[in-house]
A and B are shown apart, each in its own frame.
Chain A
Amino acid sequence: MTNTTVVGPCTVIFNLTFCDQTAYAVPGNVTNFPDAVSLGTFYDDFARDMYANFNKSMQQIPCETPNIAKYSLVRGCDDCRQAYKDWVCSVAIPRCEDFSATESFLQKRNINAEFANKTFVDQNIRDTFGQMKAYNSSRVPAIDAVVQPGPYKEVLPCDDLCYNLVQSCPASLEFGCPTLGNPGYNTSYGQRQTAGDANVTCNYPGSAHTLSASSLNAVPWAAMAGLVGTVMLLLL
């Protein structure tokens, strides 16, 4: 007779050395990485390696030059490095939700793998999406190979992280972002929540489930116009 325990595909990590702003649930596996510290180290080392490659490219960019030689007058090399660090920490360390979560802004990942209890994702979903790379693997293949979290849903990084990267870095690095409505956007980036929404709709450094402040009810503009018109008709 064995005891049972409940495990999920996600593990909360925090206090990383390189990605110091990262603190959220990430794809994990309690068998391969029994504690959060070892899992955090794995992700942190990977992000640091990606950043080191970028830093090598940055050595080719003239930074400490007079204004006429800078790549931008409003952004400097440090802005570019910071923007890249925010971006790589959010993309290389994806934010995880359990596969049973139903919010529309979540992206299914790794759907062909098996769950921890040896079951699989519903066959219909696997037939529909199982061939697409955005669904059958994590953004970072090393996660599926080393961590083996099983199927999970990802809270996509916020699109402004990518836009900030394009804006801050020199054009010679040729960064580009998908935009809303164009291919690749829906499976790569998410949008920030509207004010007052307690859900975390996209991932960014320092995000938290803050308590939603009581928001004023947004009166629909059509109703307002109708009301004003009626009042004016009555007055005239």
Chain B
Amino acid sequence: MQLSPLQSRLVASVIASFLILVVYLFLSSPHFALAAELNAIPLDHDATIDADRWTLEHALDDESESGDTLELRGDTYEPDFGLFDRSILGRAPPGVTSVVNNVPNNQNIAPGSVVTFVFQMDSISGRGAGEADDTLELRKRSNGSPGEDAGTEEGTEGEGYSADDVELVRRSTTATRTLWISANTCIQPDRGTGTQTTLAPPQLTLYVSKSTEFTSPGPLGDPRKQDWFIFNEGAVMYNTTLTGDVFFSVGAPNVSNAFLTKTYNVDVAASVDQSYHSFDDTSAPNLAWVDSDANATLMITGDLTDSSNEPVSTPPYTMFGYTQGDLSVVGIRNSYCGLKLYAQIGGTRSLLPTNTITTGITRRGSKNVTKQEFYFKGLNSSTTYLGILARDMGSGSNAKRDGVAGGGGLIFRQTEFDTKPGESVPVALGDLP
């Protein structure tokens, strides 16, 4: 049949398009997304495809009356009540420990393994936590986890919200929050006594995921999706901008058989106020070595307050010490809980008597301002020692540190001091002090 010019142009266009499609299919062999484990799924335009949801719904097909009222979030039950703080009720994914602002979490780590933690952004939202001057607003809850969809449909769905549909969320402030992640090694592998090895126990490593989807940072994780930091003498401090849930983990390396024990114990905390555990190994500590004799030494801190009128009720600092060359403290010199255990002077595992250090408050000095002084006794003569000043953060008793910003302590750079020489004199057995 004879085609008009317009029709012939149309036919030519259609044939050309068809040819292009054929060429495309032959050359590129496109693979469409294959969900092999699913049963035949009827496409539902209203719901997002959630594999777990459909499996469960399929299983519950007989019991459920209508799929709309079942709010399924996965095969673990996640409680979600509109007016309650998520941190009270929420549960992290299995195998991952949830950490809450300023509350430390203590874990053992076997060599070659990893423990994973998550700091959930919701744990600092909600009434009561965080700043009091944030305003709250009512938002319609969307399908899926709360807070995911910044709903703007207020009022568009009509009147009469039920309690399940709306929730109270914090109006997002313009200021960005910083999340500090810190950890201290409390127990590290033991060299044992009389061993020849001078190896220091290997340090732990902190892995922080860079996105909320990558939930298992670790030594086998994709290096593009995580940052990793080796602990510095038993401690690590890290901060990042808080934009979503942050997954992080602490990994222990393999430990050689030269060590008697191989297990690590780590204290981990996350905070939006300040780093929970901190150390400062660069700036000079606020400590001066006053003088020493053959068996004792005296150290004094700088001013604790600015004026002489402020009283200081409890001494804020504590000190640990060790002989230069002593190996028991190597590897945890920046860790407060590690020093409390291993330090030759002041640590609980030490063989020295525990009353070696006495401390007190004094006003000595030109400005009549309070300072803290430390008196070490029972030292060896002609010996170089290293003293580590540490600050207990937070008020109250030494036992409770939960919930206090910076409660993990602050360790300063070590200070060297020497004892004077002396003469060796016999001591009759009855005269031993």
Contacts and interface: CB of A to CB of B under 8 A. Distances in A.
27 contacts: A2-B428, A4-B424, A6-B380, A6-B423, A6-B424, A7-B294, A7-B425, A8-B422, A8-B423, A9-B422, A12-B290, A14-B298, A14-B364, A14-B373, A21-B364, A24-B290, A25-B420, A34-B433, A98-B420, A100-B421, A115-B423, A116-B422, A116-B423, A119-B423, A208-B289, A209-B288, A209-B290
B300 interface: yes
Given A25-B293, A117-B424, A209 B417 contact: yes
A148 B132 CA distance: 68
Contacts of B381: 6, 8
Contacts of A24: 290-291, 298
Interface string A67-84: 000000000000000000
A5 interface: yes
A117 B294 CA distance: 15
B341 interface: no
A33 B226 CA distance: 63
Interface string B389-428: 0000000000000000000000000010100111111111
Interface in A106-122: 115-117, 119
Contacts of B297: 12
A23 B293 CA distance: 12
B55 interface: no
- Size bracket, chain A contacts: 35 or more
A6 B291 CA distance: 18
A97 B365 contact: no
Q: What is the interface of chain A mostly: helix, strand, loop, or mixed?
A: loop
Contact of B375 (A2, A14, A200, A211): A14
Nearest to B363: A20
Given A98-B422, A211-B288, A3 B432 contact: yes
Given A14-B375, A98-B294, A209 B425 contact: no
A206 B365 contact: yes
Contacts of B290: 12, 14, 23-24, 208-209
Interface string A173-213: 00000000000000000000000000010000010111100
Given A23-B298, A34-B433, 4 more contacts: A6-B294, A7-B295, A7-B423, A206-B365
A10 interface: yes
Given A2-B428, A14-B375, A97-B420, A208 B288 contact: yes
Contacts of B373: 14, 23
A211 B428 CA distance: 40
B291 A12 contact: yes
A3 B426 CA distance: 6
Contact of A6 (B295, B362, B364): B295
A23 B433 CA distance: 24
A57 interface: no
B364 A23 contact: yes
Nearest to A7: B422
Contacts of B380: 6
Contacts of A116: 422-423, 425
Interface residues of B, number: 38
A139 B426 CA distance: 30
B289 A209 contact: yes
Nearest to A15: B362
Nearest to A11: B293
B4 interface: no
Interface of B: 284, 288-298, 300, 360, 362-366, 373, 375, 380-382, 415, 417, 420-429, 432-433
Contact of B427 (A4, A36, A119): A4
Nearest to A115: B423
A143 to B, nearest CB: 15
Nearest to B433: A34
A61 B316 CA distance: 46
A157 B428 CA distance: 38
B423 A117 contact: yes
Nearest to A118: B425
Contacts of A7: 294-295, 422-423, 425
Contacts of A96: 293
Interface string A9-47: 111101100001101110010000010100000000000
Contacts of A95: 291
A25 B422 contact: no
Contact of A23 (B291, B295, B415): B291
Contact of B292 (A2, A3, A25): A25
A97 B360 CA distance: 25
Contacts of B382: 6
A224 B364 CA distance: 43
Contacts of A210: 288-289
A79 B373 CA distance: 28
A208 B373 CA distance: 12
B296 A36 contact: yes
Interface in A80-98: 95-98
B415 to A, nearest CB: 7
A10 B300 CA distance: 19
Contacts of B422: 6-9, 98, 116
Contacts of A6: 294-295, 380-382, 422-425
A8 B291 contact: no
